[in-house]
Amino acid sequence: MAWPINKIGLAYMSPLWYTAIRLIVGTVTMMAIVIAINKFSLPKKKDLPLIAIIGLLQISIYILLANVGLAYLPAGRSSLLAYTTPLWVMPAATLFFNEETGWLRWVGFALGIAGLVVLLCPWEMDWTNSRTLFGSAMLLLASLCWAISMLCARYMQWSKSPLELIPWQLLIGTLPILALALIKEPSVSIHWDLPLILSLVYTGFLVTGLSYWSGIVVNRALPTSVVSLGFLLVPVCSLIVSAIFMHEVVNLPTTVAMGLILAGLVCVVI
């Protein structure tokens, strides 16, 4: 749901300020939750690399690049490009971390990537449109940052639980974006309407806060190849939601591509 809801919020302010406020909401709410359940603790020196990597790559840079790309492209296509992480994760996990991947997972990987290619339809893109190219580049770069973060979260050592570290990761992710917003757009005007407020509450608390935490928990528990392919369900659902609420077209190639992605997920689960 986050992608079309992000698109609604971006109609009221710039991607930079929307990212900053969304991160502030997520940081404050997760810090409050951790304090309320007596899990608050200061990070140790050995926690700092994980806090910096996840805070900057997966939270700060990823969300900023995704929101910039979303300002140039439809919500459905944006979610597809931002979730191309299996392109980077599965080969890297196999080559550099010796992650065990049987032939069925590679079949699932191939089906999932084929589904993404059909959905993106690069042969139908206007390669002379600089806005489309720029937005696509930002989203692909966002997916690469997330892929690196996923591999680090899986294979680096944790001294505290993800719940104890997520407020600090969100804080590290928030500070540079907020500083950049204050420097680049100090006099930005924001129209505080109800759709914008609801959009920030949803993307700040549920998506940035709870979903990032739960995503890291899953990332630590399962092989990165399984997690990255499993996350392909997100753009599939996003396309359906965008079609219902934002009237984006779901045509025959899109339906075929969804089938390929779901078939790939079935292979991975088996």
84-141 pLDDT, tens per residue? 777 788 788 888 888 777 788 888 888 878 887 777 677 776 777 788 888 888 888 9
The residue among 71 and 52 whose pLDDT is bigger is 52
Where are the extended beta strands (E) located within the chain? none
Q: What is the pTM of this model?
A: 0.80
pLDDT in tens, 13-53: 888 888 899 999 999 999 999 999 999 989 888 899 999 99
Contacting residues for 181 by C-beta, under 8 A, at least 6 apart:
16, 17, 19, 20, 188
Query: For tokens 């790939």, what's the residue?
Result: 264
CB-based contact 57:212 (threshold 8 Å): no
Q: Which domain holds residue 141?
A: 2-269
Q: How many domains does the chain have?
A: 1
